[in-house]
Amino acid sequence: MGSIQLGIQHAVGGLASKPERDLLMQDFMTVETTNFPSEGSNHTPAHHYSEFKFKNYAPIAFRYFRDLFGIQPDDFLMSMCNTRLRELSNPGASGSIFYVTFDDEFIIKTVQHKEGEFLQKLLAGYYMNLNQNPRTLLPKFFGLYCYQCNSKNVRLVVMNNLLPSSITMHQKYDLKGSTYKRKASKAERAKRAPTYKDLDFMEHHPEGIFMEADTYNALTKTIHRDCRVLESFKIMDYSLLLAIHNLDQAQKEKMERKSQSNIDRLVPEGQLGDTSSALILEEREREKEDRMGAAGALNRSKSINRQRLVAHSTAMESIQAESEPIDEDDDTPPGGIPARNAKGERLLLFIGIIDILQSYRLKKKLEHTWKSMIHDGDTVSVHRPSFYAQRFQKFMSQTVFKKIPSPLKHSPSKRKSLSRPLGRHEEASERETTVQVKVNNTIPHSGSKTGKLCRVDGRF
């Protein structure tokens, strides 16, 4: 990856000499190619890698996009090039390889030629939508590059990172709203951190995941808006990446580690055999490293006391929601969406829409036709974009996420009012209360001829 980082450093650093100007349509299709001979040149430094060629796609456009999300060039280069990139253990289903920067800000993903070509074509319209609404669950792309060496082409796209590695994700799901072959394989389930699928979620959370009404409404509204954008570009086969951090489980694990640490300190090392002593010492060292790593990440977060580098990058920022506190501890990780499972356990959700570089091309049309001849056509994952978007939204809003039932629905007074018809005086009082609520919470839209109501805070 060193040669790729050198290419990125040269590509981004070279933009500093180019004056800022308005973005033009031609900027989206520009490709800059630079040769990097080992001995160096007038424009490139000498290096110890094999000679390579580096392509930088739409450099002016991506500079504009990075600026749109508050990413300064120096910060971007520091994240991308200052330290060796870390390869993630779980490759994508398409065979893509993922790398993450040392500060957890960016993901670098290898993409196929068709995917890179498709991204370049949709950039103009895609970012027109993001410019109007930067708070979105859609991926944010910050660079597209191609590394060429010895007849090998490696295409890379730089995106925002959804899952901070300093936070333990107790469950992770790739959800499409489909049931056909949507269960994690035996090999996947055997992994240390498996990625489950739709049928697994329905088995693990048959009642869904519960949220406060405002959070649920903001999330489903964001999903609906994002699906409309994807549908307009004829994009389908995307997924919702859902990672769950269970606060109560994390607290329990923390107490267990503390208890085990106390027990270990009570056992004199000289009373154990050499093998047992070595194992315990090894375990102690590993726990110590884990604690130091977690504490270091937390201390860095507190000492810097800043938001993540990428604006609107956390799940909670993406949906622009306000929610009730969930009895947070001092070390509760920031940025997650608060929720609860059916057991009432406190959860933090980290979510985003992924794998959007699939257009409804002939290959997908043929794939759907073939699968639907054998299976129920509505259950397979490959569909025309409009149907795919509708099924995706329905699954997320009805099966995955649900509103926390209001206490009023179960209160004695509520049950009493529902068990018999209202009297005249009660009916009048009810109408009066309803009108009062509307007056307090809504005002007539000034530009509406129909007198449509909208909220005072402007959220609808």
Report the C-alpha dihedral over residues 225, 230, 236, 239, rounded to 10 degrees. -50
Angle 205-209-214 (CA atoms, 0-180°, nearest 5)?
Answer: 170
179, 200 Cβ separation under 8 angstroms? no
Q: Provide the whole-model pTM.
A: 0.73
pLDDT score, position 317 = 73
Bridge partner list, 149 = 152
What CATH superfamily classification does 167-405 receive?
Answer: 2-Layer Sandwich (3.30.810.10)
Residue 387 falls in which region: left (phi positive, over 0), alpha (psi -120 to 50) or beta: alpha
pLDDT, averaged in runs of 10, over the chain (460 residues):
91 87 91 92 91 94 90 93 85 77 92 91 87 87 94 93 88 92 91 93 96 94 94 92 93 80 60 51 53 44 44 68 54 81 94 84 51 51 80 96 71 40 46 42 41 38
pLDDT score, position 110 = 93
395, 208 Cβ separation under 8 angstroms? no
Locate the domains of the chain by residue range: 2-161, 167-405, 407-455
Tokens of 355: 């794998």
pLDDT score, position 419 = 39
Cα–Cα distance measured from residue 269 to residue 272, given in angstroms and rounded to the nearest whole number: 6
Nearest to 65 by CA among 106, 147, 124, 13: 124
Cα–Cα distance measured from residue 437 to residue 420, given in angstroms and rounded to the nearest whole number: 23
Domain 2-161 falls in which CATH fold?
Phosphatidylinositol Phosphate Kinase II Beta (3.30.800)
Question: For 98-166, where are the alpha helices, taking DSSP H only?
Answer: 113-132
pLDDT score, position 254 = 82
Query: Is residue 419 classed as helix, strand or coil in its secondary structure?
Result: helix
Question: For 82-193, where are the alpha helices, taking DSSP H only?
Answer: 113-132, 186-189
Nearest to 178 by CA among 372, 347, 366: 372
pLDDT score, position 20 = 86
Nearest to 174 by CA among 112, 240, 231: 240
Bridge partner list, 56 = 32, 145
pLDDT score, position 265 = 61
Helix (H) or strand (E) holding 427: helix 424-441
Cα–Cα distance measured from residue 383 to residue 361, given in angstroms and rounded to the nearest whole number: 11
11, 145 Cβ separation under 8 angstroms? yes
Cα–Cα distance measured from residue 414 to residue 407, given in angstroms and rounded to the nearest whole number: 9
- Tell me if 2-161 shares its fold with 167-405: no
Q: Given the structure tokens 């206490």, which residue do they identify?
A: 407
Backbone phi, psi, residue 154, to 5°: -120, 115
Cα–Cα distance measured from residue 58 to residue 28, given in angstroms and rounded to the nearest whole number: 5
Nearest to 161 by CA among 142, 184, 146, 177: 142
55, 32 Cβ separation under 8 angstroms? yes
